[in-house]
Amino acid sequence: MAPSTATFSQPANTVRDLRLLYFVRAAFAFVWAGLLAAKLPALTPLLLLLYPTWDVVATFADLRASRRSSLAANGSRYLNIVIGLVTTVAVAVALQQSTAAVLLVFGVWAILTGLIQLVLAWRRHRGVGGQWPMMLSGAQSAVAGCLFIAHAHSPEMGLNTLWRYAAFGGFYFLLAAWRLRSSALATSSDSVA
């Protein structure tokens, strides 16, 4: 009996949706990093507040791309959303105190979400492939979080680390989108053979 097209369409749709999401996330990361690097004092607080908020929006888009996953499989994404929302509130509070406080919040957030991303990419690589850039990104995020905490005493250095972190994240998303394309092409050629 020939496999139905529905069997293959869901992974193809998931890969397509993830690729698009990764390209959008890369573009956002590059623009955000460029604006933060420009050191525009009036814009910096808004950018710092926007970053974890954007991550929440992007995680909802990731859930939509993985719509056939079970609640248990999506648990790490839901946890990431909760952490992102709490981080957004914490950044808003920290902005009233100091840049050092903001960097501490970003540090904790980067460590937690980096570890979540690492676990999610590890689980996902068996289903859609092309996830090693996301594994590297998650590990790098956890390391960068430690640097944000270490650089909290030097806000200028910490903000420089932060925009570089976002730019590297954009690079990883571009690489993951490219790897997903390679993975999808290999899968489609295997299914035709």
What confidence tier does 68 reach under pLDDT thresholds 50, 70, 90? low
Can you give the pLDDT at residue 76?
84
pLDDT exceeds cutoff 80 at 193: no
pLDDT exceeds cutoff 50 at 6: no
**CA separation for the pair 29, 167 (Å, rounded):** 6
